[in-house]
Copies of this chain bind each other. A is one copy, B any other.
C-alpha cells in the first residue's frame, strides 16, 4: 500500500466512528462536534487526516462545516440517496421475464441543437442515431433514443446493434470518465406512445444520460420507462 492509501485508510476508519456516533445519537443533529485538534488527539492521527475524514462526511451530507462556526451534525440526514441504474437486460431478467430488444432505427444523422448542447459538439455533426425498444416477456419496458459519437467511440460505424445491445457494447469498449444524468417526467409523444404501446400524453419517467471520455462525448441517451414504472432509491 502506498503512503497515500494508508492515510486514506486511517481517514476512513475515523469516518466510520463519527458516523456511528451520529447514528447512535451520541452527537445529535445540530450539535457542534469537537474541533480537529481535539479529534486528532483522541484518534491518535495527524490533524490533516481528521480534516480529510470530516471533509468526506461533509460531502456525504452528514456534517456541515463552516470556517468560523465550526463543524456541526447536519440537521437533515436525508440529503443523499443512492440509485442503482441496472443494465436493462439484467433488470428485466432479474424480474424473471424474458429479455428481448428491437432496433427501430440505426443510421448516421446530423445532430439537432439539444443533442449538440448535451454532447458539447457542433449542431449538424454526423453521429450514429439509434432507437431501440427493450421488452420483458414481449411487453415494452423501455424506449432508448441514443446518439453515439464515432470521434470518441471509433469503430462504432461498423457495429450492427441488432445483434449486440448498444449499452453493453459501449460499456465493454469505452469506459467513461465523466457522466451527466437527470431524471424528469414527460408526457408520452406520438413515438413514445407507439413504441411503448401506451396512450399519447401518459406521464413517463425519463432518464437522460451523457458520458464523456478524454476524446469527448461518447454517447447521449434518453430512456423513457413504461407507464407506472417506479425507480427505487436507497438513502
Number of copies: 2
Which B residues are in CB contact (< 8 Å) with A95? none
Instruction: Say whether, besides A203-B203, A203-B204, A230-B182, A171 and B78 are in contact (CB < 8 Å).
Output: yes
What residue in chain B is nearest A235 (Cβ atoms)? B179
Is there contact, CB below 8 Å, between B16 and A9? yes
Alpha-carbon separation in the docked complex, A9 to B233 (Å): 27
Q: Does A185 sit at the interface, judged by CB under 8 A?
A: yes
Instruction: Say whether, besides A80-B84, A187-B202, A233 and B13 are in contact (CB < 8 Å).
Output: no
Interface residues of A in 171-201 (CB under 8 A from B): 171-172, 175-176, 179-187, 201
Which B residues are in CB contact (< 8 Å) with A17? 1, 5
Instruction: Say whether, besides A76-B168, A80-B83, A205 and B184 are in contact (CB < 8 Å).
Output: yes
Using an 8 Å CB-CB cutoff, how does the interface string of A191-235 with B read, 1 for contact, 0 for none? 000000000011111100101000000000000010111111111
Interface residues of A in 78-136 (CB under 8 A from B): 78-87
Which B residues are in CB contact (< 8 Å) with A43? 1
Instruction: Say whether, besides A81-B83, A85-B81, A179-B235, A185 and B172 are in contact (CB < 8 Å).
Output: no
What residue in chain B is nearest A73 (Cβ atoms)? B175
